[in-house]
Amino acid sequence: MRQGSCSCGQVTYVARGEPIVTAHCHCRDCQRITGTAHSTGAMFAVGDVTLTGKTAEFELPGITGATVTRTFCPTCGSPLFGKNTKMPGFITLSLGTFDDLESFTPQVAIFARSKPTWDAVDPSVQSFETQPAWSPGDGV
């Protein structure tokens, strides 16, 4: 079980079990939302995450035709998690909002085509130019 919170502490959460996948995403939306070159997120089943506190969200069209919903803290703006209509029943929590960052090992990097040269990723992480055909049931 892992815990996390936004920057101001108004929103907290608990995630049970191990993430389905932990990934870096270098897409332009993640760059704008995080304010840097990539997001890093851990995907969990919605039922394994309990959230406490008031959140806000907005929707944007995903690159692959899905609708992406981003949920953040309305007070401090911390990006908490994302949902994608192509992966119903799953949410991807922003890794930086967890209390214990060392308890994760990112496995893949996606949308590497928009990764700037100054954003180095561990070469042991499998990298994809866009988003590979993958669903949460496939494993890693």
Residues in contact with Zn ion, shown as a per-residue x/- string from 75 to 94 under the rule CB under 5 A: xx------------------
Query: Using an 8 Å Cβ cutoff, are 24 and 68 in contact?
Result: no
Check residue 8 for interaction with Zn ion (CB under 5 A): yes
Half-sphere exposure of 63 (CA within 13 A, CB side): 14
Residues in contact with Zn ion, shown as a per-residue x/- string from 32 to 71 under the rule CB under 5 A: ----------------------------------------
CB of 38 to Zn ion, least distance (A): 8
Pairing of strands 12-15, 2-5: antiparallel
Query: Using an 8 Å Cβ cutoff, are 40 and 24 in contact?
Result: yes
Positions that interact with Zn ion (CB under 5 A): 6, 8, 10, 25, 27, 30, 73, 75-76
